[in-house]
Amino acid sequence: MVVKVNLELTASHAVKAVNRGDVIIVIDVLRCSSSILNALANGAEKIVPVMTLKEAYRLHVEHPDFLLAGERKGMKPERFDLGNSPLEFTQCKVAGKTLILTTTSGTVALSRSSSAEWVLIGAFLNAHAVASKAIEVAERNKTGISLVLSGKKGRFSLEDFLCGGAIAARLPREKIELSDAASAALLAFKQAEDNLCETVMTGEHAQHLVRLGFKDDVEFSSQLDVFKIVPVYADGVITLTR
């Protein structure tokens, strides 16, 4: 069976992927997916993504031992323990902890994908691992794969598109059929691969983060295949197991 690989350019199209019954890979390179990966790699027990600050504060009242993490306009909201810088999620801060995470676009893409049977979280950092897991699940369940790009406030993001291409490049060619959008992402990634960080840096969101003083986050998040882990979003919670 050939697995169809689709790509949705913004989070608002996640519903199409859900309706197709595809295994979804949510991508928000800068910085939600990369933060989730580094938090789980450093021993966070689980992450509860929520859409609004209000929900985050309310959940924290119910669970004062959970850490509040995320951003608005790139910065740590008032009374939060952590911002949305992947580099903040160190072992010393997150090991054994549950995190409540709210970000401008990444957690929205997750929420829009949440009714899918399988929602995986992908970034450059785990491109190979998430591609392997997605093809395994898609073949087992006889479904397609959808790369869902979070984008930024409903708009297309260069780095998410390149990451979709990086993941497509790591899927076994003989087992897949790419949609035109997925093919375009693959072509773009191949063009950028040798200068990935420099190319990501040219993007609007990367430039915004650099202006805020988060250049290190862009550099960290532009690394390929650093982690072998695959976060899974199910029943409202992100963990490494399912």
Looking at beta carbons only, is 22 or 71 nearer to ligand MLT?
71
- How far is 68 from 99, CA to CA, in rounded Å? 6
**Cβ 120 vs Cβ 23: under 8 Å:** yes
Q: Show the CA angle centred on residue 108, arms to residues 31 and 9, nearest 5°.
A: 75
Looking at beta carbons only, is 144 or 151 nearer to ligand MLT?
151
| Least Cβ distance, residue 73 to ligand MLT (angstroms) | 9
113 binds ligand MLT (CB under 6 A): no
105 binds ligand MLT (CB under 6 A): yes
221 binds ligand MLT (CB under 6 A): no
Looking at beta carbons only, is 108 or 137 nearer to ligand MLT?
108
- How far is 54 from 233, CA to CA, in rounded Å? 21
Contact pick of 40, 44, 68, 71 for ligand MLT (by CB under 6 A):
71
**Cβ 103 vs Cβ 84: under 8 Å:** yes
Looking at beta carbons only, is 5 or 206 nearer to ligand MLT?
206
**Cβ 125 vs Cβ 223: under 8 Å:** yes
Chain residues binding ligand MLT by CB under 6 A are 28, 30-32, 71, 74, 84, 103-106, 209
